[in-house]
Structure 1
Amino acid sequence: MIDIEKQPSNSYSKAYRWFVITGILVVLLVVFLAFNFYDALSKNQLEARKQFLNRQVELAAKDIQNHFGVTYDDLVFFVNNLEPWTYQVENEQMAFEGRARRVFNNHRNLLDTIVVEFPDQVVSFHFDQRNNFVKNSFTNLDEAVQNKDAYIKFENPVKKVKILAAINIERFLGDQLGNYYLGINSEKLLFFNGQLFGVFEYMPTKGYKIQQEVFNTIQKDIEIGLKGNYQGFLTNEPESREFEALIFQYPFTLYPLNDKFSVVFVQDRQSITSGIFSTYAYLLVGLMFLLVVVILILYRFIKNAQESNRVLMQNSDKITSLFRQQSLLLQESKGFIYFQNADRKMTNVSSEVKKILGYDETEFIDGFKSFIDPKDDQILDTVIQKAIENKEESFSLEFNFLRKSGEWLRVRVFEKLFFDDKGVFTGNVGICTDIQDRFLADQELFKSNNRLVSVLRSLPDIIFIYNNEGMFLDYYVQDESLLISSASESIGKNIKEVLPEPLSLEIMEGFERVKKTGKLVTIEFEAISQSGKKIFETRLFKLDDERVISIARDITGQKLWEKGLQEAMEAAELANKAKSEFLANMSHEIRTPMNGLLGIIGLMEKTNLDVQQQEFLQVIKDSGQSLSVIINDILDYSKIEAGMMKLDVSKFHFKNEIEKILKIFNGLVQEKRIRLRYTFGPLMPEYVQLDRTKLGQILFNLIGNAVKFTPEEGEISIHITGELFMETNVILYFTIIDSGIGIPADKINSLTQPFVQADGSTTREYKGTGLGLAISEKLIELMGGELKITSELGKGSVFAFNLYGTVWLEEEHFLSELPDQKLEEFEWGNMAKTYPVDILLVEDNDTNLKFMKMLMKELGYKINIAKNGVEAVSAVRDGKFDLVLMDIQMPKMNGLEATEIIRQMDDEKKNVPIIGLSANAFQEDINNAIAIGMDGYLTKPVQVQEIALTIKKQYEKKAKKEA
């Protein structure tokens, strides 16, 4: 009984001792695993941080380079779209300054100042400390730019405009790096020309040092353009801290700057894993607790575990074999596994063979040799035999397998060969993979490459392919007579060896730009080919990362055509200039006798005339004034046609101005008993800003036409409405409706052509030049509107147009109305007694001289006469005059030249008042005369009252000055 009772006790003691030993081993194993797990976790954390920093430093560098490149491209686009005449056109000036502001807003963190040089003006833009956009104007570039080395130049030599951009590279880099957050215990640094800078509040800060040996390695990598990661000690002088760090750098370039840049990110190595330790300690305690629980459970199920281990041991060989097969299957997809013995007979195959080839396992094992293409079977036997002889571990081969459906399938086999200890081949295991899709894709790629080559060979262009060093690799040339030397002789040579200087230097410069920027570069050059001198246009661009391609085309014929076109344009411009000069001369020649004619009429009106003589004189006067209107119309249209007409914008009371224009027609309307009505819409602004003179000219022409063609007791209605948009802008709509004779439908479209009238016959009832509508339409288009004409013969016409203006919101008492255009009425006969002045008349035309002498006699003045500019200068120098009446066009020296010389005299005589008298009626002529130094300008034909009023005003100025 004792022995029987002791046996369970001994059995229990052995089990207990086994369990204790097992528990201790398990604890040790857990500790070992915990340590290794902690070590693996730390390494994984460290590796993850490295990958993060490596990715972030690359993103930061590329982001900086891309942002800088966008700024550079925007400035290039800005200078290429500048026009030299920008500041000569008001609207273009505003548009230009708006574009400059947008460029600044888009790149505020990089740009400090932009200086734009036009042919006749230099302007600069910058933001001041109050964030105001400031524009400054300068007379020359040196005045605007103090230190040219601090600017990047962008030039458009064709248009002769230039942009200098001052950049703040430190602010830009600091701002860009400020966008990246690396976490605690990390530093964002910049390598800039051999020095390290840290980023603090988006501004670079000095005081960072890396262990010298590591720093030398970093500097060497940056010099050759390599990114890298390193480990060393970093000293943070601003915080007096030194720590072991992970260092990552990525170099970048800022074209066109030549400085060396690199983004450097630094992470305290110890801080990466410090947070893991405390967390892991709690985890380990939890694991130990779970281990105790597991041991208790394990004790109860120890026998089951022993039985499970026994079963596992029995099946270990089979599991190992299956695991090997499974590992091979994971190497390839869309395939099946097969086994062969030493005689190369198939012993087994996986069930996937049916999915791939359509055969079941037995069919494939029995007849696999017959499913292989005979040509491929011979190659396969040769490869296998060679591999066995050379004791190779494996081999792979591609060939065609016949599917059960009758289609050929491209496969790739990978076989693992087995040898015994003596090196005797014992069999193999293989994987057969379906590569039909890849094979077809490769075939299509091959065909595509062949088609591309065929296309290149058929192109008439000259095509060369180079490596990144500029060595000729390949060519496609149809006509070698266009080459400098044979294409085949260039293969293997460098561009500098094949092309002569300076052409080779120009091509290499473009070649380097393509490599740096990756953008297409176009070069135009002349070369002496085998068939003579030719002009080529060459486009260089990257074919791939390793090659550059050039496509050159012979554009000699195109250039000759462009040259011919340019010469034709220049000839047309000369013809247009000659026409303008002819019109100016004709204006002068016609206005000069008209001055005498109308002037004499003005004098004759003051003589004693009977009624019949007064009627005759009035006919002559009306005819002369009509002729003056015709001349003015012709000159106005010629200015519009030549593009010389410009807008002179001013502010005025809109309704008052319209009513002034309507009052001009009051006499004629009453004479014909016409009912003229006008209305203003409800949204009409009180004050507007636009060209008042041209508005008056348009309305004068259109209302004048309506009055002219409306019969007696007819009706004319004028409707004016406004449409506000964008708060301060207005569209003005004008509609003029008459009950006149109407216009035939086939004549309406031609009415706005110059010198065209609805009735072009010599017997027409209504006379005129036919320029009024043509001028009106051009002026309306110049002011941004459109003229529309509708009419019905015998019932009347409707003339409608619109104009764009600006609403002026100031109150009325801040604005000035137009002065009365009527000349001041006063008694000018023998006015010399009241307004005594000494007058010098400079005039070369005998008719005008006679008229002026007669006029001055009527006014009571004895005048001095000079017949050209030379005599005028001499007379002013030797005499003393209160007023000079100066003709413009004269022999020997014209009036402008004489005025310029007088204004340069040293004494007080240079201040003598000079009034221009000329038949040149263009506004440009008047502005030019005033700019040179004339005090006024009277256009011939001159009214007697104008000359008398001019003398009176000069006397009053003199008297006021002396007082």
Structure 2
Amino acid sequence: MIEFDSRFSKSYSTAYRWFVATGVVVVMLIFFLAFNFFNALTDNQLDAREQFLNKQVELAAKEIQNKFETTYEDLIFFVNNLEPWTYERGGNEELAFEMRARRIFNNHRNILDTLIVSFPNKTVSFHFDEKNNFNKSILDSEDFILESRSSKIKFENPSKGVEIIGIFNLDRFLGDELGNYYLGLSSEKLLYRNGELFGLYEYLPRPGYKILPSTSEKLDKDVKNGLRGGYQGFLINEIEGKQFEAIIFQYPFNLYPLEDTLSVVFIQDKRIATAGIYSTYFYLLIGLMFLLLLVILILYRFIKNARISNEILKENSEKIKGLFKQQSLLLQESKGFIYFQDSQRKMTSVSSEVKDVLGYEADGFRTSFHKYISKEDLNRLNSVITDSIEKRLDNFSIEFDFLHKNGEWLRVRVFEKLFFDDQGQFTGNVGICTDCNDRYLSEQELLKSNNRLVSVLKSLPDIIFIYSNEGVFLDYFVQDDSLLISSAQDSMGKTIMEILPEPLNHKIMEGFEKARKTGKLETIEFEAISRSGKKIYETRLFKLDEERMISIARDITGQKLWEKGLQEAMESAELSNRAKSEFLANMSHEIRTPMNGLLGIIGLMEKTELSKNQKEFLQVIKDSGQSLSGIINDILDYSKIESGMMKLEGSVFHFKKEVEKILKIFTALIQEKNIKLKYQFGPLMPEYIELDKEKLGQILFNLIGNAIKFTPRDGEISIQMFGEAFLESNVILHFSITDSGIGIPKDKIDSLIEPFVQVDGSATREYRGTGLGLAISNKLIELMGGELKIESKEGKGSTFSFNIFGKVWTEEEHVLDSSSSIEEEDFIWEQMAKSYPMSILLVEDNETNLKFMKMLMKELGYEVTIANNGLEAVNFVKDRDFDLIFMDIQMPKMNGLEATKIIKGLETKRNIPIVGLSANAFQDDINEAIATGMDSYIAKPVQVKDIALIIKKYFESKIKKEVN
């Protein structure tokens, strides 16, 4: 029993020791496996994170560089396409320029802060304010305050004398770009700039990070050499005062033409990157008591994590593949390929893009590329390579010709980065070969162009001299030496002050210094005694380049004599024009005066009892008189336009109602001819608009009237109107009037807008008229900033279209025209003296008009006092009281204007309303009358209703004053 127990105890002890030993071995094995597995998983996690950061930092750097290069190229293109006369011409040229400037801002908003454009005569600044408004400013000079976070780049176009200064907000741009990348928790996006690291706070780079020297030295060296790099080291967050170990990746970039040393730096806190792994294995160690279960769990997690890692690796591989594809696309776009060479200058590999550039397969090109370079270029290339290796240069670039597979020589540019070991021995290089054939051919063409320019300069009749900045003669291009003050050859090496006589030398030198300092063209006219006699010269001084000045002088003696003759001719024409205006004014008065009596008497006769024949005869006389009045108005209107006396008088009115009011005028004529008239208001037509209502009405009246006149019975007329927004509250109004009339021959269209021209000019023509309607309409359209276009086809009809400019008003802000016309509602004016009693003085010297006015006043029920001239009128006013005065303008002894001044100067009589009655219909005559003191003005011929409404107006005004 004891033996059994001893054997059992021994067996149990052996089993226990075996079990314990086995357990210890298993535990040690698990610890060993766990430790190695942990390291492997940690390395895998860090590798994946490093690959991710490496690719992200490359993408960010390339994206920043590409966007800045795009902005730079757009500004180069912009300045090369500017014209120096943009603000001299104004109008559409100025508008087009400002729209292009705005597009530049819209395309590069996060980079560009301010754009300053300098023309020869003006400097303009553009920027967006805090409210996102696009602002334009005119600067007195190029002086401005540059913010600390901004950089300035100047773009010049010396040939046109224009330049652009772009102010770039690099901090905002870099902050915005880096803010587009999400790296995950505990990651930071930094910017290396000129030896400092900047962190990203609120999308703006600010200092705050520092790498310990052991790592920063290597990073600095790689960035300065233009090499990307990955590191592990310690960083200090100076803002939070923390130090941590991090994974660091950087990719350098440059912002040409800025000279800053730049690199994008992405970092990841190494502890946080592996924090999940520590947590996992902490629970693993606690669970050792559940050894078998833990082993299973570890195996399960290992399999699962391996699967996830494989998926991540697969995903990263796809990304890497995509990046390589993007790199290939970039090389294809830039027409280049990459190659690698060893220390013996043997090409070890070359990218497949070589076939796109030179036409060769990669393998064949790698072994025999020397054959495709000419012997001269190959010797030059080897010399540059040898020299660069001996001098331990980091890189070099060279241009030479490569033989394309198609047999043509292609210009290429080679850039090579050289590598050396710690002992300074050359170990190999990587190179980029790009096709620069187009640029090379352009440069060669430019060289030829320069040579041609020199040939042209030598053949020009102008006197051309080139100087140093000190005014020393360096070169010349002169065809006729007799035009010079002294020999051109003798001037070389001497100064302007030495060669030119006083005081001319001081005048020229003053302009020379001004042109040199400002960089602007200076033009000087002067007289001098040349070898061929006294001459007048015009010379232009401007900068040729930073070291030289140039002057171009021309003999303008003949031109000055011609200008003097032209000036005398212009003065003679102005005298003739004034004489014509005076004649038209007199003609207006002399014709309108009898017309006033004629049309006025006709109006009164219409109120009498007449037979049918008498009414017909009277209507013929009335129509003829109104037609003659219309012809006179057309002639006077065209004369005012031609002499520049026609001015625009803007007012705010309801657009659609005004157009419909004009259309109603033609209602009877349209019905008589059974014409189908359609009109439509298109999009963007404003409700209220500010422009010259009367001029627009005159244009539409003429064009619609023409369309009705030339459209046969049962024809059609279509009127289309639409608006086009222009610069905020402005609008361009487009009108189109189409008829189905007789049409216009093609060879007659251009001459229709000439005065007194008609399609059928014969005495037997069917359609009558002065031929001034279209000419006046065309001039008015041009005065309102538009253009008249005529399209027509004989027998099919015509289309008259035009556009004018106006200002849009909303219903809330529109203001009624203060010069609103007198209320014209119908009222009974016969014997109106009973309802509107007034004491009236009539001042008139013409017998016909006097008879008409007496009859008119009698029809209204008034007994008026008559004065035959201004002197009598003044005497009557002094002795008697009147409620209203009708005053003619042109009278003997004392005219109406002088009489008005005297009456308005009388203390007790100054409030008597004075209404001017005159055949002078020019606006200047009306303005002069109102300025003299007249309260209203009626141009002859007058209508009975006009007189009645004036009397009614001033009677009601008198009653108001008495009540108050």
TM-score where L is the length of structure 1: 0.50
Question: Does 1:527 pair with 2:528?
Answer: yes
Distance change >3 Å, CA 79–CA 693, structure 1 → 2:
closer
Closer/same/farther in 2, CA of residues 454 and 642 from structure 1, 3 Å limit: closer
Taking the aligned partners of 1:100 and 1:849, their CA distance within structure 2 comes to 67
Structure 2 residue aligned with 1:737 = 739
- What residue in structure 1 maps to residue 792 of structure 2? 790
Instruction: Tell me, yes or no, if the aligned pair for 1:472 and 1:492 is still in contact at 8 Å.
Output: yes
Using the alignment, how far apart are the partners of 2:515 and 2:455 within structure 1? Answer: 26
SS of alignment partner, residue 621 of structure 1: helix
Q: Equivalent pairs: percent with the same residue?
A: 62
| Pairwise CA distance, 1:940 | 0.6
In structure 2, C-alpha distance between the alignment counterparts of 1:719 and 1:876, rounded to whole Å: 57
Cα offset, 1:961, TM superposition: 0.9
State the alpha-carbon separation in 2 of the partners of residues 851 and 891 from structure 1: 20
Aligned equivalents of 1:650 and 1:453: distance in 2?
59
Write the distance in 1 (CA, Å) between the matches of 2:619 and 2:833. 28
* Structure 2 counterpart of 1:918: 918
Kindly indicate whether the alpha-carbon contact (under 8 Å) linking 1:720 and 1:732 is maintained by their aligned counterparts in 2.
Answer: no
In 1, the alpha carbon distance for the partners of 2:458 and 2:747 equals: 59
Q: Secondary structure at the match of 1:534?
A: strand
Distance across 1 between alignment mates of 2:827 and 2:888: 26
Partner of 2:318: none
Q: How much does 1:945 deviate? A: 2.0
Whether the aligned pair in 2 keeps the contact of 1:732 and 1:805 (CA below 8 Å) is no
Query: Taking structure 1 as reference, are residues 469 and 870 closer, same or farther at Cα in structure 2, changes over 3 Å only?
Result: farther
In the alignment, the residues of structure 1 paired with residue 793 and residue 86 of structure 2 have an alpha-carbon distance, to the nearest angstrom, of 48
Paired residue type of 2:715: I
Rounded to whole Å, the distance in 1 between the matches of 2:708 and 2:507 is: 70
SS at match of 1:719: strand
Alignment match, 2:178: none
Q: 1:952: Cα distance to partner?
A: 1.9
Q: CA deviation at 1:666?
A: 3.4
**2:726 aligned with 1:718:** no
For 2:150, the equivalent position in structure 1 comes to: 179
* CA deviation vs aligned residue, 1:708-757 (integer Å, no higher than 9, x gap): 4555xx3132333444544985654444434x666666655544443333
Structure 1 segment 12-161 matched on structure 2, within 5 A: none
**Residues 75 and 108 from structure 1, CA distance in 2 versus in 1: closer, same or farther, beyond 3 angstroms?**
farther
Counterpart of 1:940 in structure 2 is 940
Partner of 2:676: 676
Aligned to 1:955: 955
Q: Which amino acid aligns with 1:626?
A: S
Q: 1:76 to 1:927 in 2, by over 3 A?
A: farther
- Structure 1 residue aligned with 2:625: 624
| Distance in 2 separating the partners of 1:805 and 1:81 | 18
Check if 1:561 corresponds to 2:562: yes
Deviations 1:302-353 (A, max 9, x none): xxxxxxxxxxxxxxxxxxxxxxxxxxxxxxxxxxxxxxxxxxxxxxxxxxxx
Matching residue's letter, 1:786: L
Cα 1:623/1:821, change in 2 over 3 Å: farther
Q: Which residue of 2 aligns with 1:775?
A: 776
Q: Which runs of 5+ in 2 are unaligned?
A: 1-74, 153-170, 172-209, 219-374, 377-447
Match of 2:415 in 1: none
How big is each residue's C-alpha offset from its partner over 1:426-483, in whole Å with a ceiling of 9 and x where there is no partner?
Answer: xxxxxxxxxxxxxxxxxxxxx9999999987765444555554445567665555544
Shift in alpha-carbon separation, 1:872–1:529, aligned structure 2, 3 A:
farther
**Contact 2:86/2:94, CA 8 A, preserved across alignment:** no
Q: Match of 2:639?
A: 638
1:99–1:908 CA distance, 2 compared to 1 (3 A) = farther
* Aligned-partner SS, 2:910: helix
Matched residues in 2 for 1:482 and 1:469: separation? 24
CA shift at 1:541, angstroms?
Answer: 4.0
Matches of residues 598-609 of structure 1 in structure 2 within 5 Å? 598-609=599-610
Q: Determine helix, strand or coil for the equivalent of 1:760.
A: coil
CA distance in structure 2 between the partners assigned to 1:604 and 1:472 by the alignment? 91
Aligned partners of 2:113 and 2:913: how far apart in 1? 53
Preserved CA contact (<8 Å) 1:591 1:941: yes
Relative to 1, partners in 2 of residues 1:167 and 1:538: Cα closer, same or farther, differing over 3 Å? closer
Amino acid of the structure 1 residue aligned with 2:719 = I
Q: 2: CA distance between counterparts of 1:748 and 1:543?
A: 50
CA contact (8 A) 2:686 2:723 kept: no
Q: Partners of 1:164 and 1:785 in 2: how far apart?
A: 30
- Residues of 2 paired with 1:686 and 1:164: CA distance? 32
Residue 660 of structure 1 and its aligned partner are, at CA, apart by 3.4
Residues 466 and 474, structure 2, Cα contact 8 Å, conserved in 1: yes
State the alpha-carbon separation in 2 of the partners of residues 448 and 726 from structure 1: 45
Alignment match, 1:270? none
CA contact (8 A) 2:916 2:937 kept: yes
RMSD over aligned Cα atoms:
6.0
Q: Structure 1: how far apart are the matches of 2:634 and 2:451?
A: 70
CA, structure 1 residues 601+563, in 2 after alignment: closer, same or farther (shift >3 Å)? same
**Residues 569 and 956 from structure 1, CA distance in 2 versus in 1: closer, same or farther, beyond 3 angstroms?**
same
Distance, in Å, in 2 between the alignment partners of 1:627 and 1:846 is: 21
CA displacement at 1:886 relative to structure 2: 2.8
Q: Is the 8 A contact 1:467 1:548 kept in 2?
A: yes
Query: Per the alignment, do residues 821 and 532 of structure 1 end up closer, same or farther by CA in structure 2, a change over 3 Å counting?
Result: same
Given residue 955 of structure 1, which amino acid in structure 2 is its aligned partner? F
In the TM superposition, residue 584 of structure 1 has moved relative to its aligned partner by: 2.8
Report matched runs for 1:877-916 at 5 Å.
880-890=881-891, 894-896=895-897, 899=900, 905=905, 907=907, 909-916=909-916
User: C-alpha separation between the residues in 1 aligned to 2:483 and 2:745?
Assistant: 63
> Following TM superposition, by how much is the alpha carbon of 1:841 offset from its aligned partner in structure 2, in angstroms?
3.2
Alignment of 1:432-471 (within 5 A): 460-464=461-465, 466-471=467-472
Q: Which amino acid aligns with 1:941?
A: P
Contact 2:652–2:814 (CA under 8 A) maintained in structure 1: no
Mapped contact 1:536–1:552 kept (Cα < 8 A):
yes
Residue 489 to residue 93, structure 1, CA distance change in 2 (3 Å): closer
User: Are residues 747 and 956 of structure 1, via their aligned partners in 2, closer, same or farther at CA, if it must alter by over 3 Å?
Assistant: same
Q: Which of the pair has more CA radius of gyration?
A: 1
Are 1:536 and 2:540 an aligned pair? no
8 Å CA contact 2:857–2:863 kept in 1: the answer is yes
Do the aligned residues in 2 keep the contact of 1:651 with 1:687 (CA within 8 Å)?
A: no
Given that residues 462 and 477 in structure 1 are in contact (C-alpha distance below 8 angstroms), is that contact kept between their aligned partners in structure 2?
A: yes
CA contact (8 A) 1:780 1:787 kept: no
The range that moved more, 756-765 or 938-947, is 756-765
Aligned 1:168-207 pairs, distance under 5 A:
172-173=144-145, 175-179=146-150
Single out whichever of 948-957 and 630-639 deviates more from structure 2. Answer: 630-639
How many angstroms apart in 2 are the aligned matches of 1:949 and 1:500?
78
Paired residue for 1:597?
A: 598
Deviation string 1:272-292 (CA, Å, 9 cap, x unpaired) is x998699899xxxxxxxxxxx
SS in 2 for 1:564: helix
SS for the counterpart of 1:591 is helix
2:809 aligned with 1:838, yes or no? no
Partner deviation per Cα, 1:684-722 (whole Å, 9 max, x = no partner): 8573635544444344334434544555xx313233344
Who is 2:667 aligned against?
Answer: 666
| Partner Cα distance (1:453, 1:756) in 2 | 53
Deviation digits for residues 769-801 of structure 1, max 9, x if unmatched?
2333443444455553534343444xx634442
The verdict on how the C-alpha distance between 1:737 and 1:132 changes in structure 2, with shifts beyond 3 A counting, is: closer
Secondary structure of the residue that 1:910 maps to in structure 2?
coil
Per-residue deviation, residues 374-427 of structure 1 (Å, max 9, x unmatched): xxxxxxxxxxxxxxxxxxxxxxxxxxxxxxxxxxxxxxxxxxxxxxxxxxxxxx
Change (3 A) 1:492 1:652: closer
SS where residue 909 of structure 1 aligns?
Answer: coil
How far 1:622 sits from its partner (Å)?
2.2
Aligned residue for 2:915, secondary structure, equals strand
Go from structure 1 to structure 2 and tell me whether the alpha carbon gap of 1:553 and 1:720 turns closer, same or farther (over 3 Å shift): closer
Distance of 2:809 and 2:838 partners within structure 1: 46
> Shift of residue 164 of structure 1?
10
* Corresponding residue for residue 760 of structure 1: 761
Contact 1:688 1:805 in 2 (8 A): no
Deviation digits for residues 97-137 of structure 1, max 9, x if unmatched? Answer: 999999x99999999xxxx99xxxxxxx99999999999xx
Q: Secondary structure at the match of 1:715?
A: coil
1:917 Cα deviation from its structure 2 partner: 1.6
Deviation readout 1:625-670 (Å, 9 max, x if unpaired): 1211121222233334445445555555555444433433333444
Alpha-carbon distance in structure 2 between the residues aligned to 1:768 and 1:814: 39
Deviation per residue, 1:27-76 (Å, 9 max, x gap): xxxxxxxxxxxxxxxxxxxxxxxxxxxxxxxxxxxxxxx9xxx9xxx999
Is the contact made by 1:823 and 1:946 (CA closer than 8 Å) also made in structure 2? no
Separation in 2, partners of 1:479, 1:866: 79
